[in-house]
Amino acid sequence: MKLKELINIHKIKILVGIIILLLAILAILIAYIIMKHDETNNNIVTPYVSGMTIDEAENILENSGFVIKEIVEKENILENGLVIGTSFQAGTVCENGTEITIYVSSGSTEESVEVPDVSGLNVSEAINTLQDAGFIVSDEQREEASETIPEGHVTKTSPAAGSIRKEGTEIILYVSLGDITVEIEDYTGENYNEVKGRLEALNLQVIIERRDLEEGEDPNDYEEGIIIDQSVEPGERLSEGDRITLYIPNLTNQYPNFVEDEYSVAEVEEFAEDYGINLTINYEETTEYEPGTIIRQSRAAGTTVVEGARLTITVATNGN
């Protein structure tokens, strides 16, 4: 046989060997994938059974693929016979057929007691009453205003009176600060700034709103800044932080004719202060007018008054 033919036969044998090796590797990979797939399908998840009866928990666990190993009783606040949990936390992934233990409540040796009503008692009396009933009184005490319970006496508890709790439960006392409410007066006819200041000093929220006049009402019957109504009736009581709205008339104020109406300088100054106007007074030497007479104004009579505007008046002087 020629050398060239021998080389070709050798190459073929090598190629066949490589193919056989690759097929063997592929078979191993397929077997591994199948095995892993079977293992994955063999996994089960621990269900949540807390609070169920034993029969309910057993049915769910067995249907999920678990084998019940034993049932163990433990003292617990749950009612006697209810499931507390299992030896695996809910959500834990296990193999199918895993043994699991169910923990069942045997009830609690602590007695359940009704929280006594200690409202109206002083703090010492309330503490003694609660401790005699088997409760622990918290060092924390909370304060609140009360129109009916005197200062320093208990208004309520948390948990509330009448609720059923285990002996040893901690109780928080609420203690009265007394009646710290404010009786609202009739503020109509008063200046809103003065009333607002008094009420805010009592920690009330004061809102000022302008109210338009009804059709046909005469603006001359009202004064700027004087209260015409209020949101809370006189005699009602408000607590700290409560809100009251004071209403003042929405007047379109106009500049008077200071010259023709013969206003004095003092009257113009009062007008400027009332409406928040920046007043400038210029003096002019003249013999045509009596000293102190207003002879000109920078804002024409009848124009609208705007808070913060500037007004200049010219006053006659004889130069002395």
Please report, in angstroms and rounded to a whole number, the separation of the first and last CA atoms in the chain: 151
Higher-pLDDT residue of 274 and 198 is 198
At residue 75, the pLDDT reads: 76
Q: Cα 257 vs. chain centroid, distance in angstroms?
A: 55
At residue 196, the pLDDT reads: 93
Helix segments in the chain, DSSP class H? 3-41, 54-64, 123-132, 192-201, 265-274
| pLDDT at residue 297 is higher than 80 | yes
Q: How confident is the model at residue 38 (pLDDT cuts 50, 70, 90)?
A: very low
Its pTM surpasses 0.85? no
Domains along the sequence of the chain with CATH = 43-105 (3.30.10.20), 112-176 (3.30.10.20), 182-249 (3.30.10.20), 265-317 (3.30.10.20)
Cα–Cα distances in angstroms (integers) from residue 276 to residues 268, 286, 313, in the given order: 12, 30, 16
DSSP 8-state secondary structure symbol assigned to residue 301: T
Mean pLDDT check: name the lowest of 71-80, 155-164, 187-196: 71-80
Mean pLDDT check: name the lowest of 14-18, 149-153, 207-211, 300-304: 14-18
What percentage of the chain reaches a pLDDT higher than 70? 88
| pLDDT at residue 16 is higher than 70 | no
Tell me how crowded residue 33 is: count the other CB atoms within 10 A of its CB. 10
Q: How confident is the model at residue 320 (pLDDT cuts 50, 70, 90)?
A: low
Which residue's entry shows tokens 């309520």? 156
Give pLDDT tens digits for 256-292: 899 998 999 999 998 898 888 999 999 999 989 999 9
Half-sphere exposure (CA, 13 Å, Cβ side) for 217? Answer: 12
Q: Stretch 45-71: mean pLDDT, rounded?
A: 91
Is 154:174 a contact under the CB 8 Å cutoff? Answer: yes
Separation between Cα atoms, residue 253 and residue 235, nearest integer Å: 34
Which residue's entry shows tokens 């088997």? 134
